[in-house]
Amino acid sequence: MSDEHHATLSPSFHAERRDLRAMGMWLFLGSEVMFFTAFFGAYIVVRSASVESIVHPLDKVLGALNTVVLITSSLTMALAVAWSKRGERAKTGWALLATLALAGVFLVVKGFEYAHHFQEGVFPRSDIFHGFYFLLTGFHGVHVIGGMISLAILWVRNRRGDFDEHYNDPIEMTGLYWHFVDLVWIFLFPALYLL
Amino acid sequence: MSTSTASHSLKPYFLVFSALLGLTVLTVALSYVDVGRALGLSGSGRAANIVAGLVVALIKASLVVWIFMHQDHEEGINRFILGFSVALLTLAFLALSADFLWLGTYVKAAAGALVAGR
């Protein structure tokens, strides 16, 4: 995995390889958009048929808290990418760690919410709103876990010295993915908790 | 074109972060207000709130895509991929909305039966 010869490669090679990786990542994110479109679309149909009948059972405060947590993690991720491009390895490490920790906080809050639902006897099959709630937040949560695995690997690799100002594509590509996970939540929060 | 060697200021990230926090507060605040009535559109029910909430979410999403994800100086092909995905998503949601606006009764009855049927 480590790229020991990268220091000897020409700058244009790095730039071209980075652009190809970015294109692959955007294509992947495009497929992710379609994945969430399907479930969101189904949710729109169900909600449109019963706009007045669904009373919001979710805790707005916890939802808003998790929104702030994810937005903050997007900031620390953006900083990690920027610092890695400047070759500031220590700062990059701290920013990656902060992003990982905030992702953990998000999952803990979500876990408390799930536990509360289960204690109250609310499950995915309880009603169609909760069916969609668990489906959408569940798939989003899996994306958060995937991001955390990637962030942990990046932190180790950064510490080991795999990245410098010429080669930091994995951090940048994980950044794109992480911002996408934040994006999905930006729509999930109002759609499920507020509207 | 690409961001490969760009080493730009961190200030925009903090500005976007502040804007996202502010917009989150706005979204939550809007959920406590009858937006339709506030705008003088009586009888709009929750539709005005839904539109307002989604508009705020779209603004937040644009900030993330443009600044955090660097689409402000990304390659043309990546803009095309993003634009195409958003276009397909919009098409899918418009088609669904059209069903409800013009084929209302039938679709609502079918979906309503699904909701009620558990």
Q: Does residue B118 have a pLDDT over 50?
A: no
Domain containing residue A109: CATH number: 1.20.120.80
CB pairs under 8 A between A and B: 161
pLDDT per residue as tens digits for the range A49-107: 765 556 677 999 999 999 999 999 999 999 999 999 999 999 999 999 999 999 999 99
B40 vs chain A: nearest CA distance in angstroms? Answer: 19
pLDDT above 70: residue B74: yes
Contact flag B84-A30 (C-beta cutoff 8 Å): yes
pLDDT at A1: 46
Q: What is the pLDDT of residues A15-48, one digit of tens each?
A: 899 999 999 999 999 999 999 999 999 888 788 7
Residue B13 contacts A, CB cutoff 8 Å: yes
pLDDT for the residue numbered A185? 98
According to the model, what pLDDT value does residue B97 have?
79
pLDDT at B3 over 50: no
Residue with tokens 């644009």: B62
Return the residue of B nearest to A19 by Cα.
B2
Cβ A60–B56 below 8 Å, yes or no? no
User: How many domains does the structure of chain A reveal?
Assistant: 1
Enter the tokens of residue A18. 């980075």
Of A15, A78, A165, the CB nearest to B68: A78
Report the range of poorest mean pLDDT among A7-11, A91-95, A140-144: A7-11
Contact with chain A for residue B46, Cβ under 8 A: yes
Cβ A164 vs Cβ A87: under 8 Å: yes
The residue with greater pLDDT, B26 or A129, is B26
Q: Chain B neighbours among A 17-46 (CB < 8 Å)? A: 18-19, 22-23, 26-27, 29-30, 33-34, 37, 40-41, 44-46
B44 touches chain A (CB under 8 A): no
> To the nearest whole number, what is the mean pLDDT of chain B?
84
Contacts of B100 in chain A (CB under 8 A): 45, 48
**pLDDT score, position B5:** 44
Are A31 and B89 in contact, with CB atoms under 8 Å apart?
A: no
User: What is the pTM assigned to this prediction?
Assistant: 0.90
At B98, give phi and psi (nearest 5°). -60, -40
Residues in A closer than 8 angstroms to B50, CB to CB, are 51, 195
Q: Report the pLDDT value the prediction gives residue B2, as an integer from 0 to 100.
A: 45
- Give chain B positions within 8 Å (CB) of A187: 54, 57, 61
Q: What is the pLDDT of residue A47?
A: 80
Cα(A139)–Cα(B118) distance, rounded to whole angstroms? 22
pLDDT beyond 90 at A173: yes
Kindly tell me the burial class for residue A109, based on how many C-beta atoms sit within 10 Å of its own C-beta (0-12, 13-18, 19 or more): middle
Interface touch B78/A23, C-beta < 8 Å = yes
Task: State how far the alpha carbon of A195 is from the alpha carbons of A47, A176, B92, in Å.
Answer: 10, 28, 20
Q: A150 vs B73, which has greater pLDDT?
A: A150
Instruction: For chain A, positions 138-177, list CB contacts with chain B under 8 A.
Output: 165, 172, 175-176
pLDDT tens digits along B86-115: 999 999 988 887 777 776 666 667 767 766
Q: What is the ipTM of this complex?
A: 0.91
Identify the domain containing residue A188 by its residue range.
Answer: 3-194
